[in-house]
Structure 1
Amino acid sequence: MTKDQSLTGLLTRRRALLAGAAAVGAAGTAGLFATVTGEKPIRPAPAAGPQTHRALKPSAYRLEPLTGYGPPRAAPRRVLVRRRPFLRVSGRGRTIVLTFDDGPDPRYTPHILDTLREYDVRAMFFVCGEMVADNKELVARMADEGHVVGNHTWSHPLLTRLSRGRIRAEMERTCDVVEETYGERPAWFRAPYGAWNRATFQLGAELGMEPLAWTIDTLDWTTPGTGTIIHRVANGAAPGVVVLSHDAGGDRSQSVRALRAYLPRLLDSGYFVTVPERKYR
């Protein structure tokens, strides 16, 4: 055998080995997909010779799309299970947080949003899912104007009287409708009536939400008068406090008028109206 013939034989054997490795790799890849999906591996077509194209069965092309019909839902953020809700917020200077519960309500929420926009401040709205379902455009406006939308359950029940499964349903259903409308899942949760228990803290954390209560209760739901609401906010104002008001659940015209009066006074007194920041662990 000549030197050239020996070299040719060596190259031929090398090509055969590479071709065999490629075939084994292709078969292994097909086997891997079959293991994950439960589908039979798709055999590759021969590399040479006349080929006939057959329509693939549905099971054969399920692996092709890598995108769904919409953006994937983000996994809930890791949140510590608290033993009590936050009552205040930390921050530098004279910060204060305004919160509004039970909405959105087309009779009152737009007026509150108008006032907040006029003074260029952000607030938090703890919404009820059943109200969101009927007033999605207001929640979309909250998002557009930079406000934070929190979870206040679907139907505003007393959670401490519900089973764990019903508590989760109230929370999760509201998370879903807020995400659908607002574009993000709520990062904050407030229990109706301020009634917290171990299950509410655990389930809220599982859904990626921190519990927030309040420092100043305006008791505006009792319709005490516009002047009384203003007085309660002015007397209770201090760095880091959280003010509770309502934009739904009854006649909230006093709440609307009170905000228009006390908000500029807070700003003139040097308060910075803000929203809390989340620190994920």
Structure 2
Amino acid sequence: MFSVCKTTSSAARLRRTVPVLAAGAALALAVTGCTRLDTTSPSSVRKGAADAGAADHGTFGTVDCRTAKCVALTFDAGPSENTPRLLDILRREKVPATFFTLGKNHIEKYPQLVRQMDREGHEVASHTWSHKILTKIDADEARAELERPNKAIEKLIGKKPTLMRPPQGRTDDDVNELSKELGLAEVLWTVTAKDYTTNDSALITKRVLDQTKRDGIILLHDIYKGTVPAVPGVIDGLKKRGYVFVTVSQLLAPGKAEPGKVYR
């Protein structure tokens, strides 16, 4: 278990429930606090399932991460015009990935790519509808940000996503509760190339290789110019070190992500 400290959910709750006249004083107290959230590692999920004698969930694919040295390659904020090239690379290298897709200007613009992701064995997940920070908006708006991509994805591939990545990784107790209600588990990351800061593909590759360890969840974005050209080097470098690529759900198997929980 990892304990991470995120922006307090109290401020968000106050915006939703505290009368306007009293909000100023209450908010001044709330923003000085911090909500502590537990995040669960893939190894903990696998061990918990084994200890409980759980049956396999059928999500192993071709590898059992209880014995193999697994990593999960994940892409946020697409699909985009770069995604077809990325899918070609993944298909050639026989590497599955998890795509945390955006709704507005992405799912709605490239529905055929969402279908292709699913058809080719990738995991399609949600990154909200329009990338609003869930901890900074009211409850109704947050619900819409999560429900709209769920419905759009289900319409395209016949199943709702079970995983969600909150924009900028910002979450709190309120987001956890809403995610649980909507059947979504939250997935953060352990490796980031910060590819939103550079188009240097060699640097992106180096950052990923320098940080990755077993059970790593690698964060990249298929919307940036330098990212997709970096992927072949990432795959080659990690394969040479003995890593096997899986989806996030395969990384947790025989355990399973639980709605309302946060994983990294």
- Asked if TM exceeds 0.5, the reply is yes
Q: CA deviation at 1:205?
A: 1.2
1:189 has 2:161 as partner: no
For these two proteins, the number of residue pairs brought into alignment is 196
Normalized per residue, the structure richer in strand is: 2
- What amino acid is the match of 1:261? G
Map 1:38-187 to 2 at 5 A. 83-86=37-40, 88=42, 91-92=65-66, 93-105=68-80, 107-130=81-104, 131-187=106-162
* Cα deviation digits, residues 123-166 of structure 1 (max 9, x gap): 00001111101110000000100101111110001111101111
| CA RMSD after TM alignment | 1.8
Alpha-carbon distance in structure 2 between the residues aligned to 1:238 and 1:280: 21
Aligned to 1:255: 227
Map Cα deviations across residues 105-124 of structure 1 (whole Å, 9 max, x no partner). Answer: 0x211111111100111100
**Could you tell me how far apart the structure 2 residues matched to 1:97 and 1:247 are?**
15
Q: TM-score, normalised by structure 2?
A: 0.70
Does 1:271 find its partner at 2:213?
no
1:50-71 Cα offsets, whole Å, 9 max, x none, are xxxxxxxxxxxxxxxxxxxxxx
Q: Does 1:233 align with 2:208?
A: yes
Taking a change above 3 Å as real, the CA distance of residues 84 and 149 of structure 1, as seen in their structure-2 partners, is farther
1:163-185 Cα distance to aligned partner (Å, 9 max, x none): 11110111001100010012210
Structure 2 unaligned segments of length 5 or more: list them. 1-35, 47-64, 250-254, 259-264
SS in 1 for 2:214: coil
Higher relative contact order (CA 8 A, sep 6+): 2
**Aligned match of 1:221:** 196
Task: Judge conservation of contact 2:98–2:248 (CA < 8 Å) in 1.
Answer: no
- Structure 1: segments with no counterpart, 5+ residues: 1-81
Equivalent pair of 1:204/1:210 in contact (CA under 8 Å):
yes
Shift of 1:84: 3.9
AA aligned to 2:235 is L
Offset from partner CA, 1:206-236 (integer Å, 9 cap, x none) = 1111110000011001115111111111111
CA distance in 2, matches of 1:204, 1:112: 29
Q: TM-score w.r.t. structure 1 length? A: 0.66
What's the secondary structure of 1:100's corresponding residue? strand
